[in-house]
Homo-oligomer: A and B are copies of this chain.
């Protein structure tokens, strides 16, 4: 049971219905997944996360759709997010993933986890030749006059 009541279309405010409509139109479906209905309890969050998902996963880019789903799925498997593994394996199958490819995908995820731990456990340091070689310059605002300030509020 989700921690919040899943919002349904009829009871949703206009700003939520607008997002639901865009999700259904974008995905050519009349169904809204549980995650979107849960995020709808806080409309600004629903709008932000859907807009990111649409920008990053739906809009055509340098990486093909299946590769993008597999990258998303690799993270979901590593975090053991049952909901995410279920929904993104479903999505990857829509993009052509079959059982043999799914098994191959998971073996790569497993091998990477094994390799990561062998490297971390033995504290092996990166080979110099694999490190980036570019030269960074110190930050400079150039011509822009520095802003006078009392107490900077530096954060990440």
Q: What residues make up the interface of A, taking CB atoms closer than 8 Å to B? A: 1-6, 8-10, 21, 24-25, 27-35, 37-39, 41-42, 44-45, 48-49, 52-53, 55-58, 61-63, 66-91, 94, 99-127, 129-132, 134-137, 139-144, 146-147, 149-156
Knowing that A2-B124, A80-B80 touch, tell me 12 more A-B residue pairs with CB under 8 angstroms.
A2-B125, A28-B152, A42-B99, A56-B108, A63-B101, A66-B67, A70-B71, A71-B112, A76-B115, A86-B126, A110-B121, A113-B117
Residues of the B chain whose Cβ atoms lie less than 8 Å from the Cβ of A123:
1-3, 82, 85-86, 89, 132
User: Is B34 touching A78 in the complex (CB atoms < 8 A)?
Assistant: no
Residues of the B chain whose Cβ atoms lie less than 8 Å from the Cβ of A136:
1-2, 5-6
Residues of the B chain whose Cβ atoms lie less than 8 Å from the Cβ of A150:
28
Prevailing SS type, chain A contact patch: helix
- Give CA–CA (A142, B25) in the complex, Å: 16
User: Is B154 touching A33 in the complex (CB atoms < 8 A)?
Assistant: yes
Quick one: copies of this chain in the complex? 6
A110 in complex: contacting residue of B6, B27, B118, B129, CB < 8 Å: B118
- Give CA–CA (A112, B53) in the complex, Å: 9
Knowing A99-B4, A126-B87 are in contact, say whether A147-B113 is a contact too (CB < 8 A). Answer: no
Residues of the B chain whose Cβ atoms lie less than 8 Å from the Cβ of A3:
85, 89, 102, 121-123, 132
